[in-house]
Structure 1
Amino acid sequence: MGGSNPTPPVLTAPPAPPVLLVVYGRGSATARGILTAGRRLCTAVFFGDLGDPKVAADLAQLPKSATVVDTAGLTEEQLCDRAAEFGAAGVITFSDHLLRTAAAVAARCGVPFHDRATVEVLVDKFRQREALAAAGVQATACRTVHSAADLGPALAATGLPAVLKPRSGAGSVDTCLVRSAAELADRYAEFTEGAASPAVFVLEEYLVSDPTVVGEFWGDYVSVESAIRDGEIRTVAVTGKLPLAPPFRETGYFTPALLPAGLADEVVALEQRALRALGIREGVTHTEIKFTPDGPRLIEVNGRLGGHVSDVLKRSAGTDLLALALRLALGAFDPPEPVLALGTDCPKVAFQYFLSPPADGLAPGPAEVLDGLQHLPGVDLVDARIDPSWRADWRAGTEWLIGTVYGSAPGHPELRVTVEGIHRTMADFWS
């Protein structure tokens, strides 16, 4: 008598990973970094303007299997039509100037993102100041400058010294401190010379520093990194800074920040009031706050991941802020405990030091001088590309540098020893 044949198992294919649309441009995360962070999490589809040489070069480094959509020449409506074909579960961007585009794509695809009204106060420094003042969070004198005729009235409102910067911009490009009406006129003429349609600038009051809060060796400001889902704000970290290079160029980050007892809570409270005042309900934010004689004051709120922050946070506490941003865009909300100080969950201080010249017009020295950096305590990597024809230009802002030093230290005193060693080496390098 024959036996029965067992029924073969039914094989089912695993569900396809969700599609995440990445509106890609110059910003705070690289294409390769995004693809790596999203591995086993989603299928990333990159929308980028291949007419931009930097964007084209970045996206060319992706494997051939990656999906890249060239947005060069597309209207916003055409771009949204193309995006709608992918059945996306989320939309994200890491570029300030693409926040409007990402908001339009998200609205068309029916997925969470900053709404258009929120985007406008994130990309427009004047509107942001207005919104913060109207909500009673912080009044900062700020005026728009459309032409040289606006300089006098603007200066009368802000007083001296004041800060001149583009109304929409990032990375401290064309941003400077002015100490007189003549200097203001000269800088504005320099920034707008030859432009058929000059960019709109803002002039705002200078937030005076209080170097006694954290000590003169460290930067007089911090950034707060947060994750937001449906209006619920969760602090991820407070990031410390090294002092700015003139006029407003960042020179490095470290996590966790070095703050007196209780100050982290005060800084986070101010940041959360600002996020609510600006109507931010989704995404990852990067908010810069300065220490002044009047207490912590807002520099600005950015509606995307802060540049370089994800690296130092991951190396100090194991928190992958880039992956967190991707998960958040796809609907997950699982931020870890905030990184506010050294402890069991954050056993070391991780840093990046930017190899940026201390003054304008300087040239890089011989490459062998940088070899000494590798022997400093705590230095893990020196990533530098030296071009003898390179010259410092403060107008290009924070990104005008030749490289970055990566490392870590057991604590802030040890970090200071390492940074002092970098300072000594670089003093012999720039000429």
Structure 2
Amino acid sequence: MGHPAPPTLLVVHDQGSAGPLRILSAARGLCRIVFLCEAEHPLLAPELRQIAAHADVVDITGLDEGEVGGLAARLAPDGIVTFSEHRLRLTAAVAARCGLPFHSAETAAALTDKYRQRQALAAGGVQDTGCVLVRHPDESAAALAVTGTPAVLKPRHGAGSVDTCLVGSAAECRDRLAEFTEAEPRKSVQESARESAPEPVREFVLEEYLRGDPALAASGWGDFVSVESLVVDGEPRTVAVTGKPPLVPPFRETGHILPAPLTSATAADVVRLEQRALRALGIRHGVTHTEVKLTADGPRIIEVNGRLGGFIAEIVQRRTGFDMVAAALRLALGLPVTAPEPPAPGPAAGAVAFQYLLIPPAGPVRPGPLSLIETLEEIPGIDLVDVSAPKEPGRGDADGSWRRGTLGAIGVVYGTAPDHAQLAGLLRLLEERMDRFWYGAPDADPAVRSGAA
């Protein structure tokens, strides 16, 4: 008697928090993966070619929502998931067509629309944050009258801090909006952040600036955290509270720290707020990544994301052994998932895992040789330096690279430290070394100093 066929799981694939190889690894022995994606898109094709012999890839290029839904239904899937912000709404539509658990269309809309999400959080009594929709530079003054100054300008739809900045006046807001909505720069900046159905007019939101309170975080840390959760039948289960190094201007993340450098009381407040937000948005199923600002008035929601956060699966697995990609697949198939006990925050946390993104400064720079980055591996506590630098790395404002947000990173440093105090010193050393790289200081290279080069 033959073995029963494994369940079929649809992965609506695009640029996101898990690549095809990582997904197939997590699916081994669990299910058959079928990728629904734009198979020949230049951003996706290289990885898809690597897994062509090991997975089914169904091309959805040029298909509308209804056509993708019909195609998916004919595959008789047992579950559906996406790891891409830009495919959440399409995945919700296909899930509804196939009768599979996922975010509802209404919830997916709130998760991918920053304006609608603020409205939903306010209506749910979670948080009232000043937020105004802006479509034209001439609307800047009226919008700032609602939010006050400074305010945060960001795309209504998007991820990774693309085209996100602080504005302090109507004139500055007008200038930034005009820059962001110019046709050619927008195309180049947004090439990695496609929507399945792009809007004819790119819209932005202007939001009240949530001012961080340094007293709520240890000196030298970022003033925000993220909460990683599994949601089962509407009940959030916390996997981790992840800390951050300080942002690089204007609002670009520079990595993740697990456990977060918070007191247990602050971490508990953060989780309570996050769970209220998930319920207010109607999230009943799947993996979430919620960013929370630490302010003088307590934790405040920055945004809720209805999918696995970027880089989060790696740091959670490295620190706890728990595989969030596999958990996302199991949830999508309706299989039981047990969330681990979150790592204790604060001074008693023990070993601390970290990722440090190599983000170019916002101003013009003159990068040194990549050998300056390669020498980072010599620093105790650094396990891996993964560099994918362009031919002319880190030109800063010379090419507007800050507009690409975290997509502008030229690499990632992975490592561990015995505790938060020693990690703080290690991060300071990394910042100093990278300053020498960005500004082309030759004395940072041991080979140069020794006369060997």
When normalised by structure 2's length, the TM-score is: 0.89
Residues 181-330 of structure 1 aligned to structure 2 (within 5 Å):
181-194=170-183, 197-330=200-333
- Residue in 1 that maps onto 2:447: none
- Asked if 1:148 is matched to 2:124, the reply is no
Deviation at 1:63, TM superposition (A): 3.9
- Residue in 2 that maps onto 1:81: 70
Deviation at 1:335, TM superposition (A): 2.6
Deviation at 1:414, TM superposition (A): 2.0
- Asked if 1:62 is matched to 2:51, the reply is yes
2:177 and 2:40 map into 1 onto residues whose CA distance is 29
Q: Can you list the C-alpha shifts for 1:123-153, whole angstroms capped at 9, x where unaligned?
A: 1101100011111110000010122232222
2:209 and 2:318 map into 1 onto residues whose CA distance is 34
Matched length: 419
Residues 170-185 of structure 1 aligned to structure 2 (within 5 Å):
170-185=159-174
- Asked if 1:412 is matched to 2:420, the reply is yes
- Residue in 1 that maps onto 2:192: none
1:317–1:347 contact (8 Å) kept in structure 2: no
1:425 and 1:149 map into 2 onto residues whose CA distance is 43
Alignment partner for residue 424 of structure 1, among 432, 445, 449? 432
- Residue in 2 that maps onto 1:137: 126
Q: Can you list the C-alpha shifts for 1:390-410, whole angstroms capped at 9, x where unaligned?
A: 323110111101100111122
Alignment partner for residue 165 of structure 1, among 154, 176, 193? 154
Deviation at 1:417, TM superposition (A): 2.3
Residues 109-120 of structure 1 aligned to structure 2 (within 5 Å):
109-120=98-109
Residues 358-397 of structure 1 aligned to structure 2 (within 5 Å):
358-390=361-393, 391-392=395-396, 393-397=401-405
2:162–2:403 contact (8 Å) kept in structure 1: yes
- Residue in 2 that maps onto 1:5: none
1:48 and 1:252 map into 2 onto residues whose CA distance is 28
Q: Whose helix proportion is higher, 1 or 2?
A: 2
2:263–2:345 contact (8 Å) kept in structure 1: no
1:397 and 1:384 map into 2 onto residues whose CA distance is 17
1:342 and 1:13 map into 2 onto residues whose CA distance is 49
Alignment partner for residue 46 of structure 1, among 32, 35, 38? 35
Q: Tell me which stretches of 4 or more aligned residues in structure 1 moved more than 6 Å.
A: none
Deviation at 1:347, TM superposition (A): 5.6
Q: Can you list the C-alpha shifts for 1:188-215, whole angstroms capped at 9, x where unaligned?
A: 1101123794301100110011112113
SS in 2 for 1:262: helix
Deviation at 1:415, TM superposition (A): 1.5
- Asked if 1:356 is matched to 2:359, the reply is yes
Deviation at 1:154, TM superposition (A): 0.9
1:363 and 1:280 map into 2 onto residues whose CA distance is 46
1:316–1:346 contact (8 Å) kept in structure 2: no
Change beyond 3 A, Cα 1:92–1:50: same
1:132 and 1:138 map into 2 onto residues whose CA distance is 6
* Aligned partner letter, 1:375: E
1:367 and 1:65 map into 2 onto residues whose CA distance is 35
2:138–2:174 contact (8 Å) kept in structure 1: no
2:290 and 2:54 map into 1 onto residues whose CA distance is 36
Change beyond 3 A, Cα 1:148–1:342: closer
Deviation at 1:363, TM superposition (A): 4.1
Change beyond 3 A, Cα 1:342–1:410: farther
- Asked if 1:37 is matched to 2:26, the reply is yes
Alignment partner for residue 3 of structure 2, among 4, 7, 14? 14
Identity of aligned residues (%): 54
Structure 1 unmatched runs, 5+: 1-11
Q: Can you list the C-alpha shifts for 1:266-321, whole angstroms capped at 9, x where unaligned?
A: 10000000001111101000000001111100000000000101111111111111
RMSD: 1.7
1:26–1:95 contact (8 Å) kept in structure 2: yes
- Residue in 1 that maps onto 2:189: none
Deviation at 1:216, TM superposition (A): 3.4
